[in-house]
A and B are shown apart, each in its own frame.
Chain A
Amino acid sequence: MRARPGRGWLRGRARETSTPGRLLLLAGLVVLATLAVGATAVATVLSQRHTAVTLADRTSPTVVDAVRARALLADADLVAAQSLLPPGSWGPPTAQFQEDIKTAGQALARAADNSTAGEADRAQIQAVNNGLLVVYQGDVYIAANANDDGTPSTPPGADNGAGAGTDASASAESTAASVGLTGVYLVYASDLMREPTGILATVAAFQARNSANLPDEGTAPWALLGGHLAAAVALLALLVYAQVFLRHRFHRAMSLGLLGAAVVLVLLAGGLTALTLRTSHDIDRGVRETTAVACLWQAREAAAIIEQDRTFGELAPGLARGAVLPTATDIQNDQNGQDDVAVADGCGGQAGLPAAGQADGGGGPAAVYQARDARLGVLVGERTTTLDDALDDAIPGVGLPWAMTAGTLALLALGAYAFWPRIREYGS
């Protein structure tokens, strides 16, 4: 009976070919399978390393920078309201405001540089940094420099001495009709910060698009690993076959070269599989920690927005802001906010947030806010350390591709050690 094509091919070839031919054919197949094993191993390691490095160096820092900038900007807006609305009992906050804006600007600049979300998003963030934030600071500047009677400073560049005499006489009679422009410009500034196309929403959208580029859970080059394992099984089968073939044809009890190659192969494939699984797990952990840190920053942002609304409501109820500006929850596009600390999509189950959302007993609302913000700050610090560790762990060592190459060369060397003397026997 003729052998069916594709089945017992080696057996068929063996029957049709002489011993030296079969030996050469076998050696050639071992070399090919070894190269396939090596190539897939190196590709697997490089692919996973690329994913981990992109996560650690670009995607995760961009998401964290963006959300951190949001929290800092919300805090700046709160500080502006607390300092400029009566009675201004929080002390001189100008330095804190400037520090928030400066740090947020630096975070946004870094986020724009590292963004993986495309040119349009990068440009949008640069526009926020170079455009909207400048206008925002201008409005706060005007609010801060309004005169004591509630009227604003003159437009930038105006001569403050001009017309002073006329103003002095008219000031008293107009006081009743005048409106405190400090509050008005604070509201205009908050509009810029919180309206649907404003600063916070733009940064939130940018953050969301970068978050979408975080690796999915369980991400790994499974196809490459599968290819590697298939090649390894094929090579192992060839090595076993070669062992049997050499024993029958050359009456050798055991080829140490082939045995060594089999051991190296098992170590290589097993090690790569374990490494892939561990790196995948570490990448998942890095993503989870990125989300956790982002959620904590978002909680700080939400708390600052809520506190700012409360500040306006308590100190300047006439400025009626809630009807115009989106709430913290709207900005974060979250329909299921927890407690009074809104948390964004994907943040609900994050460790630390429920505890952070609990109000401390005692003190007024401002003290509660301060305590909560301080606690969130501590949590952010802790989770950021965990995130840094996770990202460090996730990156496969730079020498791993070389180790895979070395393993492949070892396989080739052991194969040569097993086949070469037999081939030479026929050649001599």
Chain B
Amino acid sequence: MGSPGRVLAMLSAVAVLGLGAVACGGVSSRQSVSVLGTWTDDEQARFADVLRPFERQTGIDVRFEGTRDFEAVLAGRVQSGDMPDLALMPSLGDLEQYARGGQLVALDDGSGAVDLARIQREYGPTWLGVGKVPGADGRDREYGLVVKGTRKSLVWYSGAHYSWPVPSTLDELVATSQEIAATGTPPWCLGMRSSSDSGWPGTDWIEDILLHQATAEDYRSWANGDLAWTSPTVRKAWETWGKLVAPAMVRDGPAGALLSGFLDPGAAMFDRRPGCYLHQAGSFAAGVYRDSAGQPATDARYFDFPAASGDRRIIIAGDVLAMFHDTPAARRLANYLTGTQAQEIWARAGGTISPNNAVTATAYPDDALRALARSVEDTACADVVFDASDAMPAAMRTAFYQGVTEFVANPARLDRILAGLDNVRLRSYPAVAAGDSPPPEQFCPSGSG
């Protein structure tokens, strides 16, 4: 090799070394993504398990902050301009609020950075479209993706202690409850206390009764703000619930219900002498029941919330991934969390229903969760609705929480409660406040259900 060749080779070597140094510098300044969610304690530990392979494979540092007061904390951070990169929102109402406010990044921007084509292939039709809400320009865009699903419309009981027939209609549920109450033990375990969201278990009751007494269309119309709270349909649901939460029907009476944590009263179902027999709760309760002594309950069973008539209808809920900052790390994490690997880790940990149909049935830890996951897939999309309170605007949701709390304390004030809720409805839904009819629900993709 001549002199010019040697010079060229040396320059190449220097360039390679320089690039190597730059690359090393890149590795040392590790990418990170901040995530805000509702999970604390065990749920946070499960999420850490889900994240571990991602962090190992990508080198991206995921900084997760879990808080039970998610809504308040996120509102505070948005107000102070310090949003997380990603938020895992339990409420579609919040999703829509931030999308309309222009704070969220649309995931269907056509860049393909978030692999929506794959997600549409893998996700069940019921879960797709949940996060499609209007943005600042009023156009429906994909602002959220469900990453952790919950199947609601369930009533849990102890297989060892509950000795009555499983009710198949709403009337039978009321009759069975009254029959149990006549034995001197209240039928229902109910806890309404839940940090800044106290009252939400009561909203689940109203939603279930309304869905199963009326129709899925009525339910959606109510959740959308179109159907008035003072309408006979909604009022009837509250009155039915009133029969089920009368003082003799609930463990420790209304005061006990209002002051107990939402999952705590369920423990009394599994005691040697049960303090109550039935607990309305979602699939998140699977595998987490313990008796009052703290021993895991091995005989937890469930039945579907009974319909007044007709086919099964179910309520689902979920944590929806939304993006505040469009960064490569955030997009990679969004792809990962919606993918099969993360979803199977989550499913294996229990207490969750995967929205991703590519997750194998064997990933679930028990038959109950397997069956619950399948039930969402097997139910016609038109008969699956999203948790109404989670889909409502924040002001409506908060008023709903307060309304059910007030109702448990004093059911005689129903008229005042419903009138108050209707006033909030007229102000809090953008379309209703503008004097328009809310847009029709676009929950099911065309051709499904």
Binding site for B on A (CB under 8 A): 119-120, 122-124, 126-132, 134-135, 138, 142, 149-152, 154-160, 162-164, 166-167, 170-171, 173-174, 177-181, 184, 187-188, 191-192, 195, 197-198, 318-320, 324
Contact = CB atoms under 8 A, between A and B. Distances in A.
A197 to B, nearest CB: 6
A181 B406 contact: yes
Contacts of A170: 412-413
Given A127-B76, A155-B402, A197 B420 contact: no
A160 B413 CA distance: 12
B258 A159 contact: no
B196 A135 contact: yes
B225 interface: no
A184 B259 contact: yes
A127 to B, nearest CB: 4
Contact of B247 (A129, A157, A177, A180): A177
Contacts of A188: 193, 198
A178 B408 CA distance: 8
A195 B195 contact: yes
A200 to B, nearest CB: 13
B80 A132 contact: no
Contacts of A320: 259
A201 to B, nearest CB: 11
Interface in B416-444: 416-421, 423-424, 427
B261 interface: yes
B410 A157 contact: no
Contact of A167 (B75, B412, B427): B412
A152 B419 contact: no
A174 B258 contact: no
B202 to A, nearest CB: 13
Contact of B423 (A138, A158, A174, A181): A158
Contacts of B350: none
A131 B399 contact: no
Interface of A is mostly: helix
Say whether chain B's binding surface is mostly helix, strand, loop, or mixed: helix
A18 B35 CA distance: 73
Given A131-B73, A320-B259, A163 B409 contact: no
A192 B73 CA distance: 12
A157 B76 contact: no
B193 A191 contact: yes
Contacts of B374: none
A23 to B, nearest CB: 46
Contacts of A126: 76-77, 79-80, 82
Contact of A135 (B69, B79, B395): B69
Interface of B: 34, 40, 63, 65-69, 71-77, 79-80, 82, 193, 195-196, 198, 246-247, 253-255, 258-259, 261, 395, 398-399, 402-403, 405-406, 408-413, 415-421, 423-424, 427
B408 A179 contact: yes
A150 B77 CA distance: 35
A152 B409 contact: yes
B402 A152 contact: yes
7 tightest Cβ-Cβ pairs between the two chains A and B: A158-B420, A131-B76, A163-B415, A162-B419, A131-B72, A130-B76, A174-B412
B135 to A, nearest CB: 23
Contacts of A131: 69, 71-77, 79
A158 to B, nearest CB: 2
Contacts of A130: 75-77, 79-80
Contacts of A158: 399, 416, 419-421, 423-424
A142 B402 contact: yes
Contacts of A155: 398-399, 402-403, 406, 417, 420-421, 424
B409 A197 contact: no
A178 to B, nearest CB: 4
Nearest to A122: B82
A197 B63 contact: no
A191 B195 contact: yes
Given A157-B424, A320-B259, A151 B79 contact: no
A345 to B, nearest CB: 23
Given A150-B409, A171-B412, A123 B77 contact: yes
21 contacts: A123-B82, A124-B65, A135-B196, A151-B406, A152-B405, A155-B421, A158-B399, A158-B419, A162-B420, A163-B416, A171-B412, A174-B412, A177-B246, A177-B247, A177-B254, A179-B258, A181-B409, A181-B410, A197-B67, A198-B195, A324-B259
